[in-house]
Amino acid sequence: MSFAKSLGKSFVLIIIILILLIGGGLWLDYLDVISVKKTFAPLYKVMGKTPQTSLTATQSRPLVANLDEDRLAKIQESLLLQAETLDKREADIVVKETQLEQTAQELSEREKNQEEREKTFNLAVKKYDDKNVNVEQIATNLNGMAPKNAVDILVAMDDQTVIDVLRKVEELAKANGTSSMGSYWLSLMPSERAAEIQRKMINKPESLN
């Protein structure tokens, strides 16, 4: 009787040990410490479940790979957009530099033209001043001469110089409060020459040019 009882206890212990072994194996397999799926495949079938194989375990990897490819594609797209933006900025800078160079060239040309105009104007002023000084000196000298000698000198001059001298003589006479000799000199000149000078003095403005 005691032998049968001991045999029963031993059998129970063996069953418990097998259960523990199977449960521990499944747990370690779940933790991916060991692989016992093929060994317990019949048990999975009895329980109506499909054991997880290495193929099913890696089915999620293509999804991860696709995500990595998407990230890489987005990065490449972002870099491409940045490159296009930089190219556009570089092109804009080149256009602006060209415009600035053209503007600088135009300003340089304007400055050069302005300098030329100022130079021409200064030369004209100097020429006028020199001529005015000469005409004033001639008028002063003629006023100090005898009328006949003064007229001989005037007749040898061109019409415009005669006109300038006569006008300067008139100006000096007004400034000094004296009588001008211009009219008397004209009366002593040949009549045709005197008439021509008077006509020009009437038709032209009072200018030394």
pLDDT digits (tens, 9 = 90+) for 120-135: 766 666 665 677 788 8
In this structure, the number of other CB atoms found within 10 A of the CB of residue 40 comes to 16
Q: What pLDDT was estimated at residue 63?
A: 54
CB 154 within 8 A of CB 186: no
Q: What pLDDT was estimated at residue 146?
A: 93
Q: What pLDDT was estimated at residue 129?
A: 61
Segments in the chain below pLDDT 70: 1-5, 25-26, 28-65, 121-129, 204-209
Q: Residue 59 carries which DSSP code?
A: T
CB 51 within 8 A of CB 41: yes
Q: Indicate the helix (H) or strand (E) that contains 97.
A: helix 61-143
Q: What pLDDT was estimated at residue 60?
A: 46
Q: Indicate the helix (H) or strand (E) that contains 162.
A: helix 159-176
In this structure, the number of other CB atoms found within 10 A of the CB of residue 92 comes to 10
Q: What pLDDT was estimated at residue 54?
A: 46
